[in-house]
Structure formats: C-alpha cells, structure tokens
Amino acid sequence: MIVTTKVLLDEAKKNGYAVGAFNTVNLETTKAILNAAKEMRSPVVVQMTEKTLDYAGGRAMFHLVKNMAEFYFPDIPVAIHLDHGKSMEIVERAIEVGFPSVMYDGSRHSYSDNVRTTKRVVEIAREKGVSVQAELGNVPYLSEVSENINWDDYMTDPEEAARFVEETGIDTLAVAIGNAHGFTKERDEPDYDRLAKIAKSVSVPLVLHGGSDWEDGRAKKVIELGISCFNVDTAIRLAFIGAISRMLASGEETEIRKILGSGMDAAQETVMKKMELFGSKGKA
C-alpha cells in the first residue's frame, strides 16, 4: 500500500525503531528494495533524486514504483519519496506527478531563505495531502569539504531546529550531527548530545542522511536518541555494481537479465541487512 513518509515515520518514532529510505534508479534496484521489504515484513521508503527523474523520467519512475508496490506488494507500507529536491521547480514537479512525499533541501541557503521556501513548499504540499521533509544544518558531500573540516559549522543547532519546525510546519526533519553523504569522511564521533537536544526540542521524526555506513552500535544509539529514518544510497550502489562487475569479469555470461539480476540480488541482501539493523523487521 502507498502511504506518506509521515505515516511511516510517526509510527517508527512512536515505537522506537527506524525505517530505511532507500534510493532507486531503475527496475532492478526498485525490485531489490521491495523484495527486501516483503522478505523482512518491513515498511519502507523508496526514494529517488532529481538526477534519477531526469535520467529515467519522473512519471516513468514514479509509476514503476507505484505499480510494483500496489500490484505485487499490496500488504507492505511503501512511501514513494523525492530525495533532496533543491528547488521549488523540482518539488512542484514531483507533487504534480503524484509523489506522496517530498524533500525540499534548502540547507545550503541562509536560515531565512530556507524557512521562506520551505513554508511555501509545505503550503503547496498540504493542498495535495503530501508530506514534507526539510534539512537544517548541512550534511556535506565530498566536493564540499576540506580535510580540516570544522564540524560545528555544519551541524544542526537544537534551538534553531525548534524554531524551524514551528515556523515551517514540516512533517520530518533531516539533521546534521557529523554524518555525511557518500564517501565523505564523517566526524570521528557523532554528536550524540546534540541529537538528544534536537529530539527533545522538536516533535517531528528525525532523519539521518548518509546512512549507508552506519552500522551496529552507532545506528542503534541514534535510534534510541530519536532518529526514525536512515537514508541509504551508496551501500546499494556498491553492492549492485560489485556483483555485476564480478559476473562480467568472468566473461562467461552474456544474458542481460542474469547480469542485472546478480546486482539486484546483491542489493536486496544489503537492504535486508539494513532493515534488520534499523529494527523495522516485522513492523509491516
């Protein structure tokens, strides 16, 4: 069944686990994510970025996920989400296509600009019953940071977070506590005290981006402190590409479906492990 991220994350927050938000780019990664959710009986967020919408077509990708979820996984709660919408144009495009959940990422703008645009996104989304995620602080990409990064310049301020949520009316908040996207080196130790203060200051579920390499103790600790969702992209890509590369290296397989299927199976295994770690297994 198709639901909003608000529905999934409110339930996760209430019951002390986290939901995985997994990035898809094609049929195979979509099937990997949904097959994992069915196998683990886990709610799931299937999300895509603007680059994916441009690559495969926004309507095509949205309806691929929607049709697969509704026809083949009707008893699994699935949220389809726009990840990191950087402009009003892409957010409005996603809402018009039918996305039940969107993220507007104004984290690279000033606080006032972020508030102003996020409020407008919320106003538009509310008319369509769409839930909205925003980001405060800055979860950096590799191209944005130097070796001697000052993490205090990037992390979410708890008092600002409280004002931001109140002023914008968002449904979920992405926070920065030393986490980073992709292969960017993260803070040696997440700022757990900061996260605890943020969770205490706001009522909405909190999202942690750059969750591909968050394992075991770290993941469990931030869930206990208030994280209700982890974004996972790099781990899926590495599993998918790694499996395909190994099969191609053998030089013995030319069947496209088998080659891509090996990537799909590896990605599914990765997603299942994340769902177990996040505590969402059996929650569907």
- C-alpha distances in Å from residue 150, one per residue of 108, 157, 207: 16, 14, 22
User: What's the Rg (C-alpha) of the chain?
Assistant: 18
Instruction: Single out the residue of 68, 74, 65, 75 nearest to residue 100, CA to CA.
Output: 65
Q: Which of 186, 268, 273, 171 is nearest to 228 (CA)?
A: 171
User: Active site includes 83?
Assistant: yes
Burial 130-164 (b: 16+ CB within 10 A, else e): bbbbbbbbbbbeeeebeeebebeebbbbbebbbeb
Q: Which residue has the tokens 């299942």?
A: 272
φ and ψ of 108, to 5 deg: -90, 0
Beta bridge partners of 45: 21, 79
With residues binned 3-state (H G I as helix, E B as strand, rest as coil), the percentages for the chain, rounded to 5, are 55, 15, 30
Encoding tokens for residue 83?
């990840």
**Residues 10, 54, 75, 83: which is the catalytic one?**
83
Q: State how far the alpha carbon of 29 is from the alpha carbons of 25, 33, 183, in Å.
A: 6, 6, 20
> Helix (H, G, I), strand (E, B), or coil: what is residue 129?
coil
Catalytic machinery residues? 83
